[in-house]
Copies of this chain bind each other. A is one copy, B any other.
Amino acid sequence: MVSEIQTTSEITVKLINSMGSDAMIAAAAWVSTSYEDGLQRAIDNPDDVPGVIKYLVKNRHGSPFEHGSLTMYTEGPIAMYREWHRHRIGHSYNEMSGRYSVLEPKFYIPSPDRPMFKDNNWKAGRPKFLTIEQERERMLSDMDGKAGPRTPADQDPQVRYDHLIANLTESYELAYEKYEKNLAMGFDPGLARDCLPVGIYSKCWVTVNPRSLMAFLSLRLHEPERGTFPSYPLWEIEVAARAAEKLLKEGWPITYEAFVKNGFVAP
């Protein structure tokens, strides 16, 4: 009678609705210096738009980028949302409730290509992680000529990955079984769920404007080469941020390009 759990690595970010364009941002900026109808100017002289947007981004005139909106439907593990919800300004959320509904038995496991092994140079605030392949190379290089595996961290990374998945899955199963039992006994769902892990899936509507989206991207994309101020986000939130980045690029291509050229510094 116990529900079977489902495990997945998928993180979803889908556009629900949007308002605005690069032209609208340019027109919002032009209101400060010109008596023209800015939207008409953007239509008549589309070549004026990139110039003003580049200027705004470079000189951090951020307010014009607030005249736009983008609503996304998202799915991912609670651990990911814990990071997302820390963005307060220009971010609106409506999330699945664990108090008013029964959470589905759907849980996150990393795909094999997630960089996940701590690098020798790992340190708080600036963590680096290796993929299975990279970790194998590191081990070969580090342990050159030394004796074989003795600690859990010395096992082959593929074996360790398999253990990780088994550990997570086993724990998820027990947690969900207990959750269902707690519910069946008539407990407050907001209490019954306390055993559920941060790897369980939730879903959330997120609405942002282009400016607050850029602020989010500036902190949640790892851009060691192109970024002026490199960030070291959790992998799962970066996957979501990459999807949101695409939506910005599609809806506001000139703004996006200026943002990238400006080292991912949000105006």
Residues of A within 8 A of B (CB): 16-20, 24, 27-29, 31-35, 39, 55, 59-61, 63-64, 66-69, 71, 73, 77-79, 82, 85-86, 88-89, 91-101, 104, 107-110, 114-118, 124-127, 129, 135, 151-153, 155, 160, 163-164, 167-168, 170-172, 174-175, 178, 181-182, 184-188, 190-199, 203-205, 207, 209, 219, 229, 234-235
Contacts and interface: CB of A to CB of B under 8 A. Distances in A.
Contacts of A199: 194-195
A254 to B, nearest CB: 17
Given A174-B171, A194-B197, A198-B193, A34 B188 contact: no
A86 B93 CA distance: 8
Query: Which one of A108, A153, A171, A204 has the greatest number of beta carbons of chain B within 10 Å?
Result: A171
Contact of A93 (B63, B118, B184): B63
A55 to B, nearest CB: 7
Contacts of A234: 99, 190
Contacts of A115: 188
B175 A160 contact: no
- In order of increasing CB-CB distance, the 4 nearest A-B pairs are A194-B199, A66-B92, A69-B69, A19-B19
Contact of A100 (B33, B69, B99): B33
A78 B155 CA distance: 32
Given A39-B16, A88-B91, A152 B185 contact: yes
A92 B63 contact: yes
Candidate in A69, A91, A101 with the most chain B CB atoms within 10 angstroms: A69
A110 B59 contact: no
